[in-house]
């Protein structure tokens, strides 16, 4: 979709759109301002431009980026987070950040916008710059301000990108109201003048506190104090080995750089000892020898509903392999799946040898307690997969009320039908919006679809993509489908 068509789509959402100067076309009188508008945008705070006006702007400024006037005119307030520690500061000082509509701003050091509904008449939320409040990296964009939006370019050369919810594609149903704490912060930001240092410090970071868990890597990177170094070193060593696909040298370089920020740093010998202990665990090494491929981690995922899954990390493989208990315990089943995914010839072994090796690897494996959301995802996937296995239909448009149908190699479903069948099985979501969020996490998109000439509004996903989210071999669902039912 072109920039002008995207701008018009934003306008149809009720947002006030105007053109921002292209990266390669700065204003001659203000070249350092990379977000200066092409037009006098103040009027866009009071009146939304017509489609005709928008087209005339982009006809004149073909590479213009897209600006949105925030505040009551567009019905949105944007919280601008810059840098790796901004979110942690926000959640520590103000409130947990809800899962609203967000976009990545393209900053190399990390940054994003979190969008919320403007509270409406009676609230004049003025822009505020966080560094003036002692919380550098957190700014308020509201009445009298604007933001640049996707697919515009950041000066770094990267694009602004929406997160899992694209307003053009999904609408504004997931645009959340501001939590009361955030509303108070936005209406009276001067009350939040934090005199502490604006970033995480050795004294404030505690890796055992739950509030630090979502962003624990970024928080640890600032260094930790004595008494926490070995614990954090072990966590980071495992993280870097996964990140660099088992490359010990790269992990050592990154770990050494982190260690220099500790007060005091660990001795190199101690650092090496921790890395070696994570890298050279006997159980996973024996497992590697048996499968004929270097494995560097095995995780046990425990879900609240009792389900258990395993994540196996293989050196040189971009994605981990997820296994069911049957996949892991049954040697023949594991061997078939492993050889397909890694393209490695794995020699058969005796069952007693296999059980012993698997047991040893599981003793060293990290146990991860999964969240309720992740449990919901698993339940929804199973429901859809079981329905797919019932077969395809000659006239799928008349059978979508079941759970789902397959048409043109896509899975289509109605949200209400899935909710009804889940309820029959004893799984109830708080709202259809909550179920919609889970479907988006899986990869479904909501929109109009033409099935056998009939236009329906469905949730859909490409069948190969759904197979991938279920960790199935590509084409396995299609192969097992009857021709018709």
Q: Is 389 helix (H, G, I), strand (E, B) or coil?
A: coil
Q: Return d(Cα 1, Cα 276) in angstroms, integer.
A: 50
Q: Return d(Cα 31, Cα 20) in angstroms, integer.
A: 13
pTM for the whole structure: 0.44
Percentage of the chain surpassing pLDDT 90? 21
Contacts of 323 (CB under 8 A, 6+ apart): 309, 310, 311, 312, 334, 337, 471
Judge whether residue 403 has pLDDT over 90.
no
Distances in whole angstroms, Cα of residue 224 to Cα of each of 26, 114, 230, 358: 42, 29, 10, 35
Whether residue 461 contacts residue 411, with contact meaning beta carbons closer than 8 Å, is answered with yes
In SS3 terms, 317-382 reads as CCCCEEECHHHHHCHHHHHHHHHHHHCCCCCCCCHHHHHHHHHHHHHHCEEEECCHHHHHHHHHHH
Percentage of the chain surpassing pLDDT 70? 83
At 412 the pLDDT is 92
Q: C-alpha angle 420/423/426, rounded to 5°?
A: 160
Q: In whole angstroms, what separates CA 29 from the centre of its chain?
A: 39
In SS3 terms, 300-317 reads as EEECCCCCEEEEEEECCC
200 pLDDT tier (thresholds 50, 70, 90):
very low
479 pLDDT tier (thresholds 50, 70, 90):
very low
At 320 the pLDDT is 78
Higher pLDDT, 199 or 447: 447
Judge whether residue 49 has pLDDT over 90.
yes
Helices 229-243 and 248-259 cross at an angle (nearest 10°) of 140
Q: Return d(Cα 164, Cα 170) in angstroms, integer.
A: 10
Contacts of 372 (CB under 8 A, 6+ apart): 304
342 pLDDT tier (thresholds 50, 70, 90):
confident
Average of pLDDT values for 269-283? 77
Higher pLDDT, 21 or 224: 21
Whether residue 141 contacts residue 78, with contact meaning beta carbons closer than 8 Å, is answered with yes
At 144 the pLDDT is 84
**Residue from 375, 97, 303 nearest 214 by CA:** 97
H or E element at residue 458: strand 454-462
The DSSP symbol for 30 reads: B
Q: Is 183 helix (H, G, I), strand (E, B) or coil?
A: helix
Contacts of 414 (CB under 8 A, 6+ apart): 400, 401, 458, 459
pLDDT, tens digit (0-9, with 9 covering 90-100), for 99-117:
899 999 888 777 899 999 9
The string over 377-416, giving b where at least 16 C-beta atoms fall within 10 Å of a residue's C-beta and e elsewhere, is: bbbbbebbbebbeeebbeebbeebeebbbbbeebbbbbbe
Higher pLDDT, 470 or 196: 470
Average of pLDDT values for 48-73? 94
Judge whether residue 401 has pLDDT over 70.
yes
Helices 432-442 and 415-424 cross at an angle (nearest 10°) of 100
pLDDT, tens digit (0-9, with 9 covering 90-100), for 111-150:
899 999 999 877 778 777 666 666 778 888 988 889 999 9
Whether residue 370 contacts residue 303, with contact meaning beta carbons closer than 8 Å, is answered with yes
Lowest mean pLDDT among 152-156, 180-184, 355-359, 375-379: 375-379
At 213 the pLDDT is 46
At 243 the pLDDT is 65
H or E element at residue 269: helix 268-279
Judge whether residue 6 has pLDDT over 90.
yes
53 pLDDT tier (thresholds 50, 70, 90):
very high
At 301 the pLDDT is 82
At 208 the pLDDT is 37
Higher pLDDT, 280 or 364: 364
At 199 the pLDDT is 41
Lowest mean pLDDT among 162-171, 227-236, 260-269, 470-479: 470-479
At 264 the pLDDT is 87
Average of pLDDT values for 164-178? 89
pLDDT, tens digit (0-9, with 9 covering 90-100), for 437-450:
889 888 899 888 88
């Amino acid at each position: 979709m072109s920039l002008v068509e995207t701008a018009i789509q934003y306008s149809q959402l009720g947002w006030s759109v105007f053109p921002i100067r292209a990266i390669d076309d700065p204003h001659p009188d203000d070249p350092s301002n990379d977000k200066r508008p092409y037009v006098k945008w103040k009027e866009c705070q009071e009146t939304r431009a017509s489609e005709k006006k928008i087209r005339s702007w982009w006809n004149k400024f073909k590479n213009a980026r897209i600006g949105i006037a925030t505040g009551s005119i567009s019905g949105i307030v944007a919280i601008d987070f810059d840098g790796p520690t901004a979110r942690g500061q926000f959640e520590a000082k103000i409130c947990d950040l809800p899962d609203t509509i967000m976009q990545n701003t393209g900053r190399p050091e990390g940054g994003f916008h979190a969008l919320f509904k403007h509270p409406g008449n009676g609230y004049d939320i003025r822009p505020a710059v966080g560094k003036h409040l002692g919380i550098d990296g957190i700014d308020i964009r509201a009445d009298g301000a604007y933001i640049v939006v996707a697919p515009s370019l950041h000066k770094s050369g990267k694009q602004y990108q929406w997160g899992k919810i694209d307003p053009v594609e999904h609408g504004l149903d997931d645009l959340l109201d501001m939590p009361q704490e955030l509303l108070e912060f936005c209406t009276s930001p001067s009350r939040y003048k934090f005199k502490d240092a604006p970033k995480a410090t050795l004294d404030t970071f505690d890796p055992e506190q739950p509030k630090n868990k979502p962003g624990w890597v970024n928080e640890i990177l600032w260094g930790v104090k004595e008494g926490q170094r070995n614990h954090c070193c072990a966590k980071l060593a495992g993280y870097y080995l996964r990140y660099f696909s088992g490359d010990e040298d790269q992990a050592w370089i990154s770990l050494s750089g982190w260690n220099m920020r500790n007060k005091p740093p660990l001795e190199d010998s101690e650092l090496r000892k921790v890395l070696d202990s994570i890298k050279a665990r006997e159980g996973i090494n024996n497992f590697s020898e048996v499968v004929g491929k270097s494995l560097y981690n095995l995780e046990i995922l425990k879900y609240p509903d009792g389900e258990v899954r395993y994540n196996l990390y293989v050196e040189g493989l971009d994605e981990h392999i997820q296994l069911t208990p049957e996949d892991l315990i049954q040697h023949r089943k594991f061997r078939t799946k492993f050889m397909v995914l890694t393209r490695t010839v794995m020699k058969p072994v005796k069952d007693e040898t296999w059980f012993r090796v698997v047991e040893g690897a599981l003793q060293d494996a990290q146990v991860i307690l999964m969240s309720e959301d992740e449990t919901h995802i698993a339940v929804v996937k199973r429901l859809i997969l079981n329905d797919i296995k019932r077969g395809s239909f000659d006239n799928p448009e008349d059978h979508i009320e079941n759970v789902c149908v397959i048409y043109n190699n896509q899975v289509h479903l109605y949200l209400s039908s899935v909710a009804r069948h889940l309820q029959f099985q004893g799984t109830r979501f708080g709202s259809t919006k909550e179920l919609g969020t889970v479907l988006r996490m899986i990869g479904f998109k909501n929109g109009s679809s033409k099935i056998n000439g009939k236009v329906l509004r469905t949730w859909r996903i490409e069948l190969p993509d759904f197979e991938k989210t279920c960790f199935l071999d590509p084409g396995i669902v299609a192969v097992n489908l009857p021709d018709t039912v």
